[in-house]
Amino acid sequence: MPVSASWPSKSSKAPRNTRKKIYTARTMFGLCVMQVLFLGVLFVTVRTTSLPCYEEGHLKERALKRHKIQPSEHTERVQEETPVKCPVELYSGLGKSLKDRSISPWRIVYETEEGRFPETIAVAQCLCEGCILMNMNEDKKPWEDNTYNSVTIKQSKRFLRKELCEDGERYRLKPYSKDVAVGCTCSTHRI
């Protein structure tokens, strides 16, 4: 007699004992699925509300403890509205910092977002569309070559965002990641 791959129904000719075992197995499987779903919902609920709430005055102190903020090595403050100009005539390749010596130079602008810790972050902005190249002949004059692209180098960084707690008075600090431009590099055009 061939073995059937499907579950026998109540009207099938399988022995009564076998039908009872299969019905019990179905019931147990259904209960297990329900338990897994319940525990999953419970875990998600606990996970999202398990972040502690703080008074507004203590947020910055807690953010500094939870999120190691590294001091910025950039001291010059450039407004984002300042026009971008490729510094070909100033390029000598002998600058002190990497951003000045690069054939894809960049500047640092500061981006501020209220409710984020830290509120102000340094972001790289490419100064040239192309890359600065040097002539190998006698004059060794630099020029911007637009057959290449200056593109930003991005790094994923962790920040904390201020969120209002359920009581409507205190706040929690929720971690999140964001890609931040940290420099520029020279690249060939995308084909």
Residue holding tokens 């779903």?
Answer: 37
Residue 171 to residue 57: CA distance in whole angstroms? 10
Pick the residue with more confidence: 6 or 39?
Answer: 39
Chain-centre distance for alpha carbon 179: 5
Residue count (the chain): 191
Q: Tell me: the pLDDT tens digits for 87-105?
A: 887 766 566 778 778 889 9
The string of pLDDT tens digits covering residues 38-79 is: 766 655 554 555 788 888 888 888 777 766 655 444 445 555
User: pTM for the complete prediction?
Assistant: 0.61
Question: Cα-Cα-Cα-Cα dihedral of 146, 95, 69, 77, to 10°?
Answer: -80
Are 110 and 116 in contact by the 8 Å Cβ rule? The answer is no
Q: Indicate whether 120 pLDDT > 80.
A: yes
The whole-chain average pLDDT of the chain stands at 77
In the block, tokens 């026009």 appear at: 83
